[in-house]
Amino acid sequence: MSTPIESRQARVIDELRVFIKKVLSDPTIAVKSIDIARKYRSEPDSDELIAREISANTTIRIPEKWSEADRMFLDIIDEVLDDEEALY
């Protein structure tokens, strides 16, 4: 029997696996997601705007109530943009 923590981790891993499969099957998702994030990054509630537009324009669906995997995806996008800015 698994603990609640193990169950939550398994759920996050399953969700990330589905996400990775989508990205690998449609390589435009990553490019679109980063472009969308650049567009809204400096706006108030930018994560909410980014999540909504990614959901509307890609096969990635980020619900109104974010899971840990959704939050992780948005955090990683932010880190990618931070790294990009550091290069310039």
Q: Is the pLDDT assigned to residue 50 strictly greater than 90?
A: yes
| Contacts of 82 by beta carbon, 8 Å cutoff, 6+ apart | none
State the pLDDT confidence band at 1, using cuts at 50, 70 and 90: low
Q: What is the mean pLDDT of residues 30-37?
A: 96
Instruction: Label residue 45 left, alpha or beta by phi (over 0 means left) and psi (-120 to 50 means alpha).
Output: left
